[in-house]
């Protein structure tokens, strides 16, 4: 395996892990005890900067934030580009 393959594969895994952290953060909004815990703070620190990029693009509808959908679409596109790069190696 080449160094480029290992690098792209590692970045791909990190993007997948980040998507999982985003899901945990979003689900924590339904559990106030989790959202206001140390774990919730760590999830917020990891997730909010990325989600904030999309909050201005999609306004909330009846207090429901749809920006995570766009955030996941972008993450999925990044994963697809990484997987395409892996296939070309």
CA count, 13 A, side-chain hemisphere, 17: 7
Check whether 7 has a pLDDT greater than 90: yes
Confirm whether pTM is higher than 0.85. yes
Task: Tell which residue, 15, 24, 26, 16, has the closest CA to residue 66.
Answer: 26
pLDDT confidence of residue 45: 97
Place of tokens 């697809």: 80
The DSSP-derived string for 44-76 is HHHHHHHHHHHHTTS--BTTB--HHHHHHHHHH
18-42 pLDDT, tens digit each: 999 999 999 998 998 999 999 999 9
What residues does each domain of the chain span?
A: 3-88
Check whether 75 has a pLDDT greater than 80: yes
């Amino acid at each position: 395996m080449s160094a480029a393959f290992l690098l792209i594969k590692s970045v791909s895994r990190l993007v997948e892990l980040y998507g999982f952290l985003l899901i945990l953060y979003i689900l924590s909004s339904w559990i106030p005890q989790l959202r206001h815990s140390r774990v919730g703070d760590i999830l917020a620190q990891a997730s909010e900067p990325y989600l904030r990029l999309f909050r201005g693009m999609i306004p909330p509808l009846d207090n429901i934030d749809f920006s995570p959908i766009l955030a996941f679409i972008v993450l999925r596109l990044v994963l697809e580009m990484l997987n395409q790069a892996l296939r070309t190696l």
